[in-house]
A and B are shown apart, each in its own frame.
Chain A
Amino acid sequence: MTMHMKNPVKRTEGGAHTTASGCLLFSVVLFALIIFMIIPGDMCAGENRNVLIINSNASVKKYSQMQTAFKASFEGTSDEVDIGSKWFEEKAVEKTVRSTKPGLIFCIGSKAYVLAQEIAKDAHIIFSLGINWQRFPLTNNTYVIANEPPPVVELTTFRYLFPDIRRVGVIYSKTHNKEWIQTAMNEAKDVGIEIIGSAVKKDTEVKTALQNMMTKIDALWLIPDPVVLANAERVKEIFTLCDRAKKPVFSYDRLFADFGASLIISADITTMGKQAAQTAMNILTKKDDVEKIQNPAGSYIALDVKKIERYGIKLNSKALSSINELIE
Chain B
Amino acid sequence: MIYLNHIQKIICGGYVCRASIRAIVFYLFLVFIPVLLPCLYGIEVLGAPRCTVYFYNPESNVDNFALLKTKLDMYLKNLGPYQFQPFCDRNTFEAHARGKHDCILILSSWYYKELKDFFPMKPVLVGTVDGESVQKKILASKADIKNLSQLKNASIASAGSEEYTRKYLKLMMGENNARLVDTFRILSVPKDIDALISMGFGLVQAALTTEYSITKLSIINQGLYKKLTILVRNEKSLHPIVAIPAGHDAEALKLLEIIENMEKTTEGKSCMQLFGVEGWRILDKKDLELLGK
Tell me if A291 is interfacial: C-beta within 8 Å of chain B: yes
State whether A159 touches B221 (Cβ < 8 A). Answer: yes
State whether A190 touches B187 (Cβ < 8 A). Answer: no
Tell me if A281 is interfacial: C-beta within 8 Å of chain B: yes
Closest to A157 in B: B193
- Count residues of A near B (Cβ-Cβ below 8 Å): 38
State whether A299 touches B194 (Cβ < 8 A). Answer: yes
Say how far A301's CB is from chain B's closest CB, in angstroms.
Answer: 8
Distance between Cα atoms of A187 and B187 in the complex (Å): 25
State whether A297 touches B187 (Cβ < 8 A). Answer: yes
- Count residues of B near A (Cβ-Cβ below 8 Å): 40
Tell me if A320 is interfacial: C-beta within 8 Å of chain B: yes
Point out the residues of chain A lying under 8 angstroms from B120, CB to CB: none
State whether A317 touches B64 (Cβ < 8 A). Answer: no
Known: A156-B224, A191-B220, A278-B185. A324 touches B67 (CB 8 A): yes
Point out the residues of chain A lying under 8 angstroms from B185, CB to CB: 278, 281-282
Distance between Cα atoms of A323 and B190 in the complex (Å): 10
Tell me if B197 is interfacial: C-beta within 8 Å of chain A: yes
Tell me if A173 is interfacial: C-beta within 8 Å of chain B: no
Within 8 A of B (CB), among A270-328: 270-271, 274-275, 278, 281-282, 287, 291, 294-295, 297-300, 305, 317-318, 320-326
From B11-19, B28-36, B167-175, B267-275, the one touching the partner chain is B267-275
Point out the residues of chain B lying under 8 angstroms from A192, CB to CB: 220
Contact of A291 among B62, B202, B222 (CB under 8 A): B202
Distance between Cα atoms of A275 and B197 in the complex (Å): 14
Point out the residues of chain B lying under 8 angstroms from A268, CB to CB: 63, 189-190, 194
Point out the residues of chain A lying under 8 angstroms from B204, CB to CB: 297
Most buried by B among A156, A187, A326: A156
Say how far B64's CB is from chain A's closest CB, in angstroms.
Answer: 5
Q: Which 10 A-B pairs have the closest CB atoms?
A: A190-B223, A321-B276, A159-B220, A320-B273, A298-B189, A298-B190, A297-B198, A322-B191, A298-B194, A324-B64
A-B contact pairs, 21 of them (CB 8 A): A156-B197, A160-B216, A163-B220, A187-B223, A192-B220, A268-B194, A270-B63, A271-B61, A274-B188, A278-B155, A282-B155, A291-B201, A291-B202, A291-B203, A300-B63, A300-B190, A318-B276, A320-B274, A324-B67, A325-B66, A326-B71
* 19 extra interface residue pairs, beta carbon distance < 8 Å, beyond A192-B220, A321-B64: A152-B224, A156-B217, A163-B220, A268-B189, A268-B194, A271-B189, A271-B194, A274-B188, A275-B187, A281-B185, A291-B202, A291-B203, A297-B194, A299-B190, A320-B273, A322-B62, A322-B190, A323-B274, A324-B63
